[in-house]
């Protein structure tokens, strides 16, 4: 079966697509949301940050619908997918961007720290994939973009729970890429390294450490969520990558060479 | 704005298949493209296709294994279009009749494989780099293969030299990243190029489909779109990467093919 269902590439590559972005109210999620809208998609944004989410929805008019809630709650995932289907008539693209974690040495990380990383990272991804599956089967352009991290690939100190959740997400992504491929649903992972609000705070607190880290990146800088990361997510979300599945794509300035 | 507006690109192996698709898609995104091929006629055909679509193209006949020829190709790109921003080292491959298993392979074919795939990539990169750096940065896109990732019963040289292309990609990325030159590679899986479509029997196509996770085989355009992405600023924070565009062929568990019937489709 050969199904060349290409939409025009480029500035309107997501024209008419119904998309869902978790953690879309700030940081990389907000950058992804803005680019998706610019390329013609409509976006359900799910986030715990109510004010930021509502402001984003107001800013983008009909193109963005905000669903307030905790991504680790399966009911929130069901409600968000139902909202996408009700408002946009379908769900084509799921971006599992949200996750929260605390950075400390492994032996200081508590059960609660681990639950936080796993619930908001791994289980949230599972929740939204399960909730989205029936709609994705119907899409014909279905793409899931999950978020991994160089922290997992590199074994970044102080990131045990986060790295474990992120590598678990990569495993889950490969398995579902296999299981869902016959339905034409693609599942890929992006590992970004970006100057988010959190990294900016760290840069301010420890400028020397930050400068050393940036210098170690072959491209010499931390990524910008809007210019460096969002276009990679958009590429994986749209038909330009329709022959890619089960892949991990590093948007990290060349930092991690092996995986 | 077009994604490759004001850019100049050189695509080798642009006389057919994936290389031709990449050249056409890059031109559609606004690039002025040098379409280089071993055969002048096929380069001219590709250039004509680009021009028919309103693009700018310069056909160049090149022997990518020959240093002077590669130097001339890069010089004509810069001479005609005033600079260089993108190099797509696409040409490559081996002769499947000679590139066999270890015991039966033709050792001369190994040398040809090194020249056509490794030497060509290195030469193109060497002559393009000064221009990419002068332009404030650029993007090199190398064509690898899924053969670089998994063993095969035949084409021993092909897998080896494509793995070398991936290794070179990383070295180029590390060496010239600080000069804002990015270098990434694409590993195509099964792609229905015109050659495949015309020459491979239907049952072979069906068996290729069984080894591919997604329910369709790739087209030259699928790889071309990935090359455009890697050539453009959309991937400006990606370097040293290998993008596997294979419909899930190498991602797929070896057990998946047999178990697929159990899925509630």
ipTM (interface predicted TM) = 0.88
> In this structure, what DSSP letter does residue B114 have?
I
pLDDT by residue (tens digit) across B105-136?
999 999 999 999 999 999 999 999 999 999 99
SS3 assignment, position B117:
helix
When CB atoms are compared, the residue of A181, A239, A244 closest to B245 is A244
SS3 assignment, position B96:
coil
Quickly state the pLDDT bin for A45 (edges 50, 70, 90): very high
List A residues 193-222 in contact with B (Cβ-Cβ < 8 A): 193, 217-220
pLDDT by residue (tens digit) across A120-171?
999 999 999 999 999 999 999 999 999 999 999 988 899 999 999 999 999 9
* Residue A213 Cα to chain centre, angstroms: 23
Quickly state the pLDDT bin for B253 (edges 50, 70, 90): confident
Burial class (CB in 10 A: 0-12, 13-18, 19+), A160: buried
Quickly state the pLDDT bin for B141 (edges 50, 70, 90): very high
User: Which of A97, A105, A151, A104 lies closest to A125, judged by CA?
Assistant: A97
Domain positions in chain B are: 8-191+221-240
Q: What is the pTM of this model?
A: 0.92
Under 8 Å between Cβ of B50 and B57: yes
User: CB A4 to CB B239 under 8 A?
Assistant: no
Looking at residue A69, its pLDDT comes to 97
- Any chain A CB within 8 A of the CB of B221? yes
Q: Which residue has the tokens 């899409």?
A: A139
| Structure-token pair, residue A200 | 């900016």
Domain positions in chain A are: 18-194+225-251
Mean residue pLDDT across chain A: 93
Orientation angle between helical segments A160-180 and A124-139, nearest 10 degrees: 20
User: Which of A44, A33, A35 lies closest to A11, judged by CA?
Assistant: A35
What is the pLDDT averaged over residues A54-75?
Answer: 96
- Any chain A CB within 8 A of the CB of B243? yes
User: CB B235 to CB A232 under 8 A?
Assistant: yes
Looking at residue B264, its pLDDT comes to 64
User: CB B244 to CB A231 under 8 A?
Assistant: no
List A residues 234-253 in contact with B (Cβ-Cβ < 8 A): 234-235, 239-247, 249-253
**Alpha-carbon gap, residue A99 to B181, rounded angstroms:** 32
Q: Which residue of B has its CA nearest to A171?
A: B251
The answer, yes or no, to whether residue A176 has pLDDT greater than 60, is yes
B189 contact residues in A (CB cutoff 8 A): 243
Under 8 Å between Cβ of A145 and A96: yes
The answer, yes or no, to whether residue A3 has pLDDT greater than 70, is no
A143 to chain B, closest Cα gap in Å: 12
User: CB B213 to CB A228 under 8 A?
Assistant: no
User: Which of B69, B57, B152 lies closest to B105, judged by CA?
Assistant: B152
- Any chain B CB within 8 A of the CB of A27? no
User: Which of B249, B230, B217 lies closest to B145, judged by CA?
Assistant: B249
Quickly state the pLDDT bin for A9 (edges 50, 70, 90): low
| From A123, A162, A210, A243, the catalytic residue | A162
| Structure-token pair, residue B57 | 């193209």
Quickly state the pLDDT bin for B193 (edges 50, 70, 90): confident
When CB atoms are compared, the residue of A9, A217, A254 closest to B225 is A9
Residue B232 CB coordination number (10 Å): 24
CATH class, A18-194+225-251 region: alpha beta
Looking at residue A4, its pLDDT comes to 39
Among A6-15, A43-52, B94-103, which is the least confidently predicted range?
A6-15
**Alpha-carbon gap, residue B170 to B165, rounded angstroms:** 9
Under 8 Å between Cβ of A22 and A119: no
**Alpha-carbon gap, residue A226 to A35, rounded angstroms:** 8
Looking at residue A76, its pLDDT comes to 98
Task: Report chain A's C-alpha Rg in angstroms.
Answer: 17
What is the pLDDT averaged over residues A204-212?
Answer: 89
| Structure-token pair, residue A73 | 């709650």
A241 to chain B, closest Cα gap in Å: 7
- Any chain B CB within 8 A of the CB of A12? no
Looking at residue A259, its pLDDT comes to 55
B6 to chain A, closest Cα gap in Å: 16
List B residues 52-91 in contact with A (Cβ-Cβ < 8 A): none
Angle at the Cα of B53 from the Cα atoms of B48 and B55, rounded to 5 degrees:
80
Q: Which residue of A has its CA nearest to B234?
A: A231
- Any chain B CB within 8 A of the CB of A183? yes
Q: What is the dihedral of CA A178, A232, B36, B1, to 10 degrees?
A: 140
List B residues 28-47 in contact with A (Cβ-Cβ < 8 A): 29
* Residue B148 Cα to chain centre, angstroms: 13
What is the pLDDT averaged over residues A209-219?
Answer: 89
The beta-strand segments (E) located in B101-213 are 138-143, 181-188
**Alpha-carbon gap, residue B81 to B228, rounded angstroms:** 19
Cβ contacts of A166 within 8 Å, gap of 6 or more:
A99, A121, A147, A148, A149, A151, A152, A191
Looking at residue B265, its pLDDT comes to 60
B219 contact residues in A (CB cutoff 8 A): 4, 243
Catalytic residue numbers of B, as ranges: 158
Under 8 Å between Cβ of A258 and B216: no
When CB atoms are compared, the residue of A4, A174, A250 closest to B238 is A250
CATH class, B8-191+221-240 region: alpha beta
């Amino acid at each position: 079966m050969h199904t060349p269902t290409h939409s025009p590439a480029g500035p309107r590559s997501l024209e008419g697509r119904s998309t869902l972005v978790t953690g879309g109210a700030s940081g990389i999620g907000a950058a992804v949301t803005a680019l998706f809208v610019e390329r013609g998609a409509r976006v359900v944004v799910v986030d715990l940050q109510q004010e930021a989410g509502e402001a984003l929805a107001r800013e983008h008019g009909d193109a963005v619908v905000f669903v307030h809630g905790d991504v680790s709650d399966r009911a929130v995932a069901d409600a968000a997918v139902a909202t996408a289907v009700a408002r946009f008539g379908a769900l084509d693209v799921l971006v599992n961007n949200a996750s929260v974690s605390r950075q400390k040495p492994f032996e200081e990380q508590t059960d609660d720290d681990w639950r936080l990383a796993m619930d908001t990272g791994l289980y949230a991804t599972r929740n939204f994939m399960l909730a989205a599956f029936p709609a994705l089967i119907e899409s014909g352009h279905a793409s899931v973009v999950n978020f991994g991290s160089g922290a997992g690939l590199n074994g970044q100190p102080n990131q045990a729970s986060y790295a474990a959740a992120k590598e678990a997400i990569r495993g889950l992504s490969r398995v579902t890429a296999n299981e869902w491929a016959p339905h034409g649903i693609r599942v890929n992972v992006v590992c970004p390294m970006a100057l988010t609000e959190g990294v900016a705070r760290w840069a301010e607190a420890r400028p020397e450490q930050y400068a050393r880290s940036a210098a170690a990146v072959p491209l010499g800088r931390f990524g910008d969520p809007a210019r460096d990361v969002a276009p990679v997510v958009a590429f994986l979300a749209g038909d330009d990558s329709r022959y890619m599945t089960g892949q991990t794509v590093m948007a990290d300035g060349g930092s991690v060479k092996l995986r | 704005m077009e994604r490759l507006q004001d850019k100049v690109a050189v695509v080798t192996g642009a006389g057919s298949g994936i290389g031709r698709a990449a050249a056409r898609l890059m031109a559609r995104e606004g690039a002025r493209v040098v379409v280089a091929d071993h055969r002048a006629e096929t380069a001219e055909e590709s250039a004509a296709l680009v021009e028919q679509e309103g693009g700018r193209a310069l056909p160049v006949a090149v022997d990518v294994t020959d240093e002077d020829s590669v130097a001339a190709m890069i010089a004509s790109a810069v001479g005609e279009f005033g600079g260089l921003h993108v190099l797509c080292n696409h040409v490559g491959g081996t002769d499947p009749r000679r590139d066999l298993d270890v015991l039966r392979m033709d050792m001369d074919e190994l040398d040809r494989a090194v020249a056509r795939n490794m030497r060509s990539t290195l030469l193109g990169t060497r002559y393009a780099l000064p221009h990419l750096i002068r332009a404030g940065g650029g993007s090199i896109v190398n064509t690898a293969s899924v053969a670089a990732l998994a063993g095969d019963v035949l084409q021993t040289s092909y897998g080896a030299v494509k793995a070398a292309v991936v290794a070179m990609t990383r070295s180029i990325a590390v060496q010239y990243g600080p000069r804002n030159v990015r270098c990434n590679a694409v590993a195509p899986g099964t792609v229905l190029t015109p050659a495949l479509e015309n020459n491979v029997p239907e049952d072979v196509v069906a068996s290729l489909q069984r080894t591919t996770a997604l329910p369709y085989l790739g087209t030259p355009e699928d790889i071309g779109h990935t090359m455009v992405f890697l050539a453009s600023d959309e991937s400006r924070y990606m370097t040293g990467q290998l993008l596997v565009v294979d419909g899930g062929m190498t991602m797929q568990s070896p057990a998946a093919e047999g178990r697929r019937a159990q899925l509630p489709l």
